[in-house]
Copies of this chain bind each other. A is one copy, B any other.
Amino acid sequence: MAERQCDVIVIGAGTAGLHAYKTATARGADTIVVERGPGGSTCTRVGCMPSKLLIAAARAARHCAEAGRFGVEAAPVSVDAAALWARVRRERDRFDAAIRDEYHAIPDDHRIHGSARFAGPDSVMVGENRIVPRQGIIIATGARPLVPETLEPVRDLVHTHETIFELDHLPQAMAVLGAGPVGLELAQAFARLGVAVTLFDPGDTVAGLADPATNAAAIAALGHEVTLRLGVEAEATRATDGRALLSWEGGSITVDLILAATGRPPELTALDLKASGLELDDHGTPVFDPESRRCGDSAIFIAGDANAWRPVLHEAARGGRIAATVATGGDAPRPLPAFAITFTEPNLTEIGTAFADLPDDARIGCAKVADNGRATADGVAQGLVRLYADRDGVLLGASIAAPEGEHLGHLVALAVDQGMDAARFADQPWYHPTVEELLQMAARDIVGSEQVLV
């Protein structure tokens, strides 16, 4: 058994891990990355990027199908599934190669291929080799999709986001389990490509929207394209024709394919966390401080999807940087406003304080997308903007189901980070005609119109 000393160990070379490695190294730490796979990130390989590529194709199909209302007549839309998947994978592979290149650019003596497990609170084993860091261990092992056991009877028809982008055809009928961002984005995309999509979720929210008004608006908008079965748990059995039969109280459908999008728990099992001595939560995830990503008062940090907190890329990247900074004696920066986007049309996004966590005397400003000139001109005037402020008018966050909502979300995030109040936010150069005017309308709704004359 060999023993190696270093300053920082990073377990996992995905988004969080690569950022942690680069930051620790830039801060002068002798840093070792342990990666058991080929490198590459969830985002580029099976997440953000292939889904956005599929969504781009789906949007193209939708635009063609809807062009008639503008006086533009296209031929009946047909999808060349082979060409579609070829573009998705070709571009996906380019994105993924760039991330793998980053991994392979790490010098050989700072990179260990293998599976890491804790050998105690202060060291890690990779195979027979012990690595002992002087400053810290950063867990950045990511998350993996869960396939519910109830799908075992039809397991061969089940995909997750890790396999769905390897299809070479489009199913005729498809069930999506889970109304989170992954399930919703792919459900709408496949529907736009001509697949009959039914989405099941035992809960009554979509995209995890905490605001009931926005949630209702989102459901109304998405329901035009996807059959939404919320509050419904379907049982999967094998149909006589070999397809999957999904049955629930009151109905059943037969589908060619099931997308399981029911959750992505942290990938921690191989780490032997018991040996780390860390306190674990009910799901077996180390208890950690979201600001520093430090686990308890240990020298172990957890960043990225592995910590199940804000599983979005910018927090994974920043989390890796923060963990590396704090592990090497630096300070954690301010936390950013929470920000999540589901890239359906309309975009669904919540920023900052969630509806359920608003103070009792919070002020909520509303703007209906139907009242926005630009959205009307573009033929996408459906949705709702809800902007939150405290009793003094200081912006706290927003819940948005709107066309171009991803862009509105960035503006709210910036304003919340700046501690802006609604009056100042209302008095910005909101250009006409843009969907951004919805934010002005919502801010004025908070301030009261008589106070926004100038």
| Interface residues, chain A, with chain B CB atoms under 8 Å away | 22-23, 26-27, 43, 48-49, 52-53, 56-57, 60-61, 63-64, 66-67, 69-87, 91, 95, 193, 312-315, 318, 321-322, 324-325, 330, 332-333, 336-337, 339, 341, 373-374, 376-379, 404, 406-407, 409-411, 413-415, 417-418, 420, 427-434, 436, 450, 453-454
Contact = CB atoms under 8 A, between A and B. Distances in A.
Given A67-B64, A414-B428, A434 B454 contact: no
B87 A70 contact: yes
Contact of A376 (B77, B83, B91): B91
Contacts of A81: 71
Contacts of A85: 71
List 5 tightest A-B contacts by C-beta distance, closest first. A71-B84, A407-B407, A71-B83, A64-B74, A313-B432
Given A56-B377, A433-B49, A23 B454 contact: yes
Contact of A74 (B77, B376, B411): B77
A56 B379 contact: yes
A79 B75 contact: no
Given A91-B377, A431-B339, A454 B330 contact: yes
Given A23-B454, A91-B376, A60 B49 contact: no
A223 B330 CA distance: 50
A427 B325 CA distance: 15
A292 B180 CA distance: 50
B429 A337 contact: yes
Contacts of A336: 427-429
A305 to B, nearest CB: 13
Copies of this protein in the assembly total 2
Contacts of A312: 431-432
Contact of A79 (B71, B87, B91): B71
Given A52-B374, A313-B431, 18 more contacts: A26-B450, A52-B433, A57-B70, A60-B72, A61-B74, A63-B67, A64-B64, A73-B77, A95-B376, A312-B431, A312-B432, A333-B454, A339-B429, A407-B407, A409-B431, A410-B428, A410-B434, A413-B429
9 contacts: A53-B377, A56-B378, A64-B64, A75-B76, A312-B431, A313-B431, A314-B432, A332-B454, A413-B428
Nearest to A333: B454
A71 B80 contact: yes
A241 to B, nearest CB: 28
A417 B432 CA distance: 18
Given A64-B63, A336-B428, A373-B95, A436 B454 contact: no
A180 to B, nearest CB: 16
Contacts of A339: 429, 431
- Which of A84, A427, A450 is the most central at the interface, judged by chain B CB atoms within 10 Å of its CB? A427
